[in-house]
Amino acid sequence: MSLQVGDSAPDFSASDHEGQTRSLGDFSGQRLVLWFYPKADTPGCSREGCGFRDLYAEFQAKGAAILGVSYDSPADNKAFVEKYGFPYPLLSDGEQAIAKAYGAYDAGQPNYPQRNTYVIDGEGKLEQVLLAVNPKTHPRALLDSLGS
């Protein structure tokens, strides 16, 4: 069963690139963009991550926090953040629990999450479910789709 707009977002808890535990509840009352990317510091993921970085202030102006999620280790994600100057946390989902809960896990490609994004409203409900997004155009298209 895949998640649909209006469903409650699955709770999660994982370490970010700084070793801080982040959970869905940390973002209660605000919009959250949860974007899954296959592998840190690869061309598509770097392009998508930099797109979110470059538009970060505009996402914040729309009340949206951003979290990236991959199966990469905290150390690999930290290097990715430092290389590109990402102003948002990257979560390490090494157990693949978050990807499985959200439907970003692909048994045919078990080493990489699918390039999906989930927008969660301040009440913990899914506002958008975006599957197999284009890393080149996705950050701008997502920003443009968000209401204020």
Q: Give the catalytic positions in this structure.
A: 45
Q: Which residues of 85-115 are buried (b: 16+ CB within 10 A; e: fewer)?
A: ebebbbbbbeeeebbeebbbbeeeeeebbbb
Phi, psi (degrees; rounded to nearest 5) at 24: -55, -40
Closest CA to 91 of 110, 118, 122: 118
Spatial neighbors of 36 by CB under 8 A, at least 6 apart, are 68, 69, 70, 99, 102, 104, 113, 114, 115, 116, 117
